[in-house]
Amino acid sequence: MAHAKVVHPEKVMPFIAPGCEDLYTSRMLIDRFNCGSDKLQVNHGVVKAGKALPGAVHIGHDELYVILAGHASLDLAGERYELKPGTVVFIPGGTFHAIHNENSTEDLELITVWPGQPAKGANEMYDRRMEAWGTTYREVEEKSGGKSLGAGIPNPEPFACKTGVCKQLTQQALQGI
């Protein structure tokens, strides 16, 4: 059963997939693992200055972005849009989207919101976090066997669409499915 929860992003352990250390960090703020909600997922992400995400298509899952800080551009359904603090973006399920942070000095900070929990294979970063941690939510103070969790946690293969799933979905989206 879902329960009320107040989350401070700085107290949530960031997930950084191998190969993405200088690209993107992700903090799961709200989902079934920390408040029991199967109806909502909220993530805090940071796209590092001068970097771009490879792009994605989430079949069957709508997504919402709220830009908190920074400036970047977004490729969305074949169009390019500018992002700045306060921008809200709706991404229908099955729509290709990719963020490009061309600013060489300023990170892009955003909140992403999904209705429900993503099915396995719908969100590669979510799947990698589950594989590495067995959960999606960890607080910085959590301990495991007397050791702090975080940098030493083994993670699976680098994100950057190297499993082929993201690349395949991206190619399909670009072909108009």
| Tens-digit pLDDT profile for residues 89-128 | 999 999 999 999 999 999 999 999 999 888 888 888 889 9
Give the pLDDT band of residue 138 (cuts 50, 70, 90).
Answer: very high
> What dihedral do alpha carbons 80, 74, 59, 13 form, nearest 10°?
180
pTM exceeds 0.85 for this model: no
Q: Which two tokens stand for residue 79?
A: 């169009």
Domain count for the chain: 1
pLDDT bracket for residue 71 (50, 70, 90): very high
Q: Is the pLDDT score of 51 beyond 90? A: yes
Q: What is the dihedral of CA 72, 150, 143, 34, to 10 degrees?
A: 30
Query: What CATH number is associated with residue 88?
Result: 2.60.120.10
Q: Is residue 9 part of a domain?
A: no
pLDDT score for 145:
46
Is 149 contained in some domain?
Answer: no
pLDDT grade, residue 74 (50/70/90)? very high
Decide: helix, strand or coil at residue 36: coil
Q: Kindly state whether residue 72 falls inside one of the protein's structural domains.
A: yes
Q: What is the pLDDT of residues 17-31, one digit of tens each?
A: 878 888 999 999 999
Residue 132, pLDDT > 60, answer yes
Both tokens of 152, joined, read 């030493």
Average pLDDT score over residue span 155-163: 35
Beta carbons within 10 angstroms of residue 136's beta carbon: 24
Strand partners, 72: 83
Domain extent at residue 166? 19-138+158-174
